[in-house]
Every structure is written in C-alpha cells, then in structure tokens.
Amino acid sequence: MKHIVFNSAGIGSWATGMRVAEKYGTDNIIQLFTDTKKLNDNHPHRGEDDDAYRFLREGAALIGGNLEWVSAGKDIWRTFEDSRYMGNSRVDPCSRILKREMARKWIEDHFKPEEVTLYIGIDWTEAHRAVKNKRFWEPYNVEFPMMDAPYMTKEEMCQWSESLGLKRPRLYDLGFAHNNCGGFCVKAGLGQFYTLLKTMPERYAYHEQKQEELFAVLGKRVPFLRQTINGKLRYLSLKEYREQIEEIERKNEDVACQIDLFDIGGCGCFGDVDDIVEKVITA
C-alpha cells in the first residue's frame, strides 16, 4: 500500500506527512506537490512564495519518502484567461485546473484505488470539510491524520517543526493564515488582502494589474472581493479595494472600524468545491 500525502507547503500538510511517516514508515510514502506556476518560471509574484518552496523541500526531507513535483505549465492568471472566467470563492478554475485535476490525473495514472491511501492536511477545526473531500476523491480512500488526537493548533505544529530545525513559513509570521499562492487567493477575504497590501505591496500591485488585464480580456468587470456595508453586499476589484484603504488612511481614520480585517476567507484547493458548480464549469 502506498501513502500519498498532498503536500501544499503549508504547516498542516507537513504535520500530516509526519504523522503518516510515524505510523507507516517512509518506504511507501509519496508527497505530491502541485505547483501553481510553470516549473521553469522564476517570477517572484507568480505562484508560490519563494519561502514556501524552501519550506516544502526542507519539510519533505524531514518527512521522508519521495517528493513528486508536478505543474500544469501555467499560472493562476493564465488559467483564468484560458477559462475566460475570473475565479471567486465558489468557482475556482485555478484550484480545479492547477491542483485538483493535476493531482487526480497523476494519481490515476500511477495507482488503482485499492493500491493507495490519500492524506489531506485538514485538522480538527475543519472537520466539516472532510465529508466533501471524501466524496470528491472517490473511489480513492482519504484520511485526515490531523483530525485525530493528540489535537494540535497551527501554532503547535509550527513549534513542532521548529523543534526539528525546520523554520516555519514566513507568510505565517507576516500574518497570513495560509502558506499558499504567495498570499493571494480568490477564496480569501478582505482581511487577507489587507495583509497582502501592507506586507507585500509589490505583490499586491502585480495581482491588481493582472486582474485589470483579465477584465479587459473578458470585456467586463467581475471582481471577487466581497464587502457588506449596512447589510448591502457589493463586489470590489483589487484596485477599488486598495483605493478605498488609501482613502481611509488619507483621512487618518481607523481602517479596522470600516473594514472587516477578520474576514480571512478559506483555502481549500483539494476538495472545497461545490459539486454542482464543478460539473457545470467543466462540462
């Protein structure tokens, strides 16, 4: 039996791999990483954060087994352009094409369902996601080691890694809840994009420009950031959101009083998908 750990370069998937290695040894472990950019593309803002690759390599060495590194050959914005669709919190061509389809194809090309068990880094605080993940990966069996006792917080997982000499991903220290896609995610909320703007303005500017270019290609503005004011929902582009924050700061007002900085959003590339929407988009 082979044990495939979806290694996203985040602390949860690293801890998952460690638990699988502790339980089964390393001879039959495969860590599968699906990159969100071309493997030969060194653009600093296109895809994962450079430190995520550092954490991935060093963490994979601690887990043991083999690290498989695959890519669809294009980045997030090229995926949106090819799909002629701006991803959002519910419909995510980026996750589907760059993550789910790549992972599924690799697994189906190499193993029958009875030959392998899949492991995803969902922890005990995310139990509601497990059912959808299991359904999505059928007929393959999926397990979630970090949902089992002893239960660990993300901070405790980081302390575990650092006790072994593996420095935590830098995005966590910058205030990000996830170490994926360099701090950018169409499923993220206003709080995460505020953090992106303040900690890495040049990266925010890159994604703002790419979104404006995509709007031009699509011939319409279809932003994904959502903001509710006085019970009324509106959608903001990255440009509009940046300008709103700059206006608040220009007036020396408190950003936290006007924007929900706790709106982080979610990151779930491997199974957090509306099944009906997925069928429609891929039809």
* pLDDT, tens digit, 9 for 90 and up, residues 182-231: 999 999 999 999 999 999 999 999 999 999 999 999 999 999 999 998 88
- Burial label for 281, CB within 10 Å (0-12, 13-18, 19+), is middle
Instruction: List the beta strands (DSSP E) in 72-210.
Output: 116-119, 141-143
Two tokens, residue 168: 């935590």
Contact 182, 260 (CB under 8 A): no
Q: How confident is the model at residue 272 (pLDDT cuts 50, 70, 90)?
A: low
Computed over every residue of the chain, the mean pLDDT equals 92
Task: Judge if pTM exceeds 0.85.
Answer: yes
Q: Which CATH class is domain 2-169?
A: alpha beta
Confidence of residue 130 (pLDDT cuts 50, 70, 90): confident
- The residues facing 31 across adjacent strands are 5, 67
pLDDT band at 133 (very low <50, low <70, confident <90, very high): confident
d(CA 68, CA 21): 16
Q: Range with the lowest mean pLDDT among 69-83, 121-135, 166-180, 212-226?
A: 121-135
The better pLDDT of the pair 79, 267 is held by: 79
**Strand ranges (E), 109-159:** 116-119, 141-143
The yes-or-no verdict on residue 271 having pLDDT over 70 is no
| pLDDT value of position 270 | 62
Instruction: Write the Ramachandran bin of 91: left for phi over 0, alpha for psi from -120 to 50, otherwise beta.
Output: beta
Q: Give start and end residues of each alpha helix (H) in 26-153.
A: 50-63, 76-83, 93-94, 101-110, 128-136
Q: Is residue 274 pLDDT above 60, yes or no?
A: no
Decide the pairing of beta strands 141-143 and 116-119.
parallel
Average pLDDT of 29-36?
A: 96
Residue 22 CB: number of other CB atoms within 10 A? 11
d(CA 128, CA 162): 29
- Distant-in-sequence, close-in-space partners of 214: CB < 8 Å, separation ≥ 6: 77, 80, 81, 86
CATH 3.40.50.620 location in the chain: 2-169
Question: How is residue 201 written in tokens?
Answer: 């303005």
Counted residue by residue, the chain has a size of 283
Express each pLDDT in 222-267 by its tens digit: 999 999 988 899 999 999 999 999 999 999 999 998 998 988 876 6
